[in-house]
Amino acid sequence: MNNYNPDIHHRHSFRLQGYDYSQEGLYFVTICVQNMKCIFGNIINGEIILNENGKIIISCCKQIEQQNPHILFHIYCIMPNHFHAIIEITTPRRGGSRTPSQQ
Q: Domain segments of the chain: what residues?
A: 20-89
Lowest-pLDDT range of 8-12, 21-25, 44-48, 70-74: 8-12
**Residue 43: beta bridge partners?**
48
φ/ψ of residue 67, rounded to 5: -85, -15
**Residue 16's pLDDT is what?**
86
State whether the Cα torsion 42-43-45-50 is positive or negative: positive
Contact residues for 81 (Cβ-Cβ < 8 A; gap 6+): 32, 33, 36, 37, 38, 39, 40
